[in-house]
């Protein structure tokens, strides 16, 4: 299953908004430097979905705000 995420790094708070079954807006506090924001997005989404972060992998969008994340 694939999830389509709009990431918003450097936000004041960490929050996940679910648009529909596969689309999310994920706000994280981390800056997009050295992959820290990507890791935070994966962790926040995993917490929202109540699964282990290791089950999620970033398929596309490592350097942009639009990301495709796959559940394994």
Structural domains for the chain: 2-71 (3.30.1200.10)
pLDDT in tens, 12-21: 999 999 999 9
Encoding tokens for residue 55?
């089950």
DSSP letter for 5, please.
E
For 12, the 3-state DSSP assignment is: coil
* Dihedral sign, Cα of residue 7, residue 55, residue 68, residue 25: negative
Q: Given phi > 0 = left and psi -120 to 50 = alpha, else beta, which region is 61?
A: left
Asked if 18 and 24 count as a contact pair (C-beta separation under 8 A), the reply is yes
For 27, the 3-state DSSP assignment is: strand
pLDDT in tens, 28-44: 999 999 999 999 999 99
């Amino acid at each position: 299953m694939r999830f389509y995420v709009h990431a918003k790094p450097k936000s004041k708070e960490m929050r996940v908004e679910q648009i529909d079954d596969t689309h999310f807006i994920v706000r994280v506090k981390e800056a997009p430097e050295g992959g820290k924001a990507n890791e935070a997005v994966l962790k926040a989404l995993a917490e929202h979905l109540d699964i282990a972060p290791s089950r999620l992998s970033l398929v596309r969008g490592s350097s942009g705000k639009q990301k495709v994340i796959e559940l394994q």
